[in-house]
Amino acid sequence: MHPGPTPPPLDESEAIARVLAGERDAFHVLLQRHSGPLLATLRAVLRNREDAREVLQETWLRAYRNLDRLREPARLRAWLVSIALNLARAHHRRARDGELDSGRDGDPVAPADGGRGAGVDLEEREDLARLRELMASLPARQREVVDLRVNHELSHSEIAELLGISEAASRANYYQGLQRLKQSMGAALGTQT
Amino acid sequence: MTNENLDPGADAPRAGAACERVVGRLALQVDGALAPLDAARDGGHLESCGPCRQALARHLALLSSLRGLSQRDTARDVEQVVAAVRARLDRTPPPRRAAARVSGPARATRRRALGLAAAAAAVLLLAALEAWTSLPDLDPARLARLDWPVELPNWSEVVRGLESLARRIS
């Protein structure tokens, strides 16, 4: 059977309006679009794959229940990140206070597929592994800002609000983080980048 | 802090000062953070300078790799999380429309009712105060000589005052 023309991707504002009108399936658009970057952020913050998955689930459920409180659909990404970061902080606190299963500490963050994505050659895999290490070695603030800017495409003003820093500090951390990554990648490859 | 200090040109081509300046603030250029005049000037330089274009390509490749890294690392987990969330959504009550919350006329009615209640409370308090101050000294000997009951406020007047106040507010 011919599948026919693919419908255009649903605009996020439209998806939000439909969910609020009772179309639960429209939420899937948001889930698909934002889960990857959110999970990457949570894994970097929590440094535990299983915890990150759990907090991401809770993030989505909270977002679903409170979707009517989102006054500006254009701020959806920043809103989701703020929910995720708040839940991650709460998770951290519970872990610190011993309320969570301590056995989870033995599940460090690692690529879900061991870095063996389809069609990824050895050289690219090594570069990505190196980049992953370098990102993890950045100072926390630089890593957070680079992640929020690159993966979530948040503005510096949104990042500043989320992290409680100034916009200038967000910019400075972003440029310094990128510069450090470039220098380290160049040094690792033995080339002048 | 100057733009150049934010993004020192460690990977600047070994060329003139223009190249050093342009490569030194590539991140700002890509980030849309340069003043329009500076952005136009650097853009013009990039069009005509091969080594600077290569530096720009490396910068863009880094950004692309960072995005790819997060997608590659999370792809399988995302599938599982999405499936789990969808299953849990089926057991979660749907979000309410913002319009369904107390708003518009309903909110105005509630505000008016609260105003009335506050006004009524204030009038009752005043009446109680008046009654209290009109009480004679509580000397047991004097109290024994008094004809009871002590004069109380005229409650029908209080009620009429309240009704009048309510009419004025609404």
**Does residue B154 sit in helix, strand or coil?**
coil
User: Which residues does chain A have within 8 Å of residue B93's beta carbon, measured at their own beta carbons?
Assistant: 65
Cβ pairs bridging A and B (under 8 Å): 147
Of A24, A56, A135, the CB nearest to B94: A24
Residue A40 to chain B, least CA–CA distance (Å): 5
pLDDT at A71: 85
User: pLDDT tens, B116-161?
Assistant: 778 778 878 877 777 666 655 556 666 565 555 445 556 677 677 7
Beta carbons of A112 and B7 less than 8 Å apart: no
- Per the CB < 8 A criterion, the answer to whether B58 and B9 are in contact is no
Q: Is A53 left (phi over 0), alpha (psi -120 to 50) or beta?
A: alpha
What mean pLDDT, rounded, does chain A reach?
83
Q: Which of B145, B165, B161 is nearest to B153 (CA)?
A: B161
User: pLDDT tens, A53-77?
Assistant: 999 999 999 999 999 999 888 899 9
Tell whether the model's pLDDT for residue B21 goes beyond 90. Answer: yes
How many residues in chain B? Answer: 170
Tell whether the model's pLDDT for residue B115 goes beyond 90. Answer: no
Low-confidence winner among A96-110, B12-26, B48-62, B71-85 (lowest mean pLDDT): A96-110
Which burial class, exposed, middle or buried, applies to A102 when counting CB atoms under 10 A from its CB (0-12, 13-18, 19+)? exposed
Tokens of A75: 């701020």
User: pLDDT tens, A102-153?
Assistant: 445 444 555 544 444 444 555 677 778 888 889 989 999 999 999 999 999 9
Low-confidence winner among A126-130, B24-28, B161-165 (lowest mean pLDDT): B161-165
A42, A43, A55, A68: which to substitute to probe chain B, counting the most B Cβ within 10 Å?
Answer: A68
The mean pLDDT value for A151-167 works out to: 95
pLDDT at B3: 42
Beta carbons of B86 and A31 less than 8 Å apart: yes
Q: N- to C-terminal Cα distance for chain B?
A: 59
Cα–Cα distance for residue pair B84/B78, rounded to 1 Å: 10
Beta carbons of B70 and A37 less than 8 Å apart: yes
What mean pLDDT, rounded, does chain B reach?
75
Give the Cβ contact number of residue A72 at 10 Å: 9
Cα–Cα distance for residue pair A37/B167, rounded to 1 Å: 58
Tell whether the model's pLDDT for residue A176 goes beyond 90. Answer: yes
Beta carbons of A28 and B82 less than 8 Å apart: yes
Interface ipTM above 0.95? no
pLDDT at B141: 65
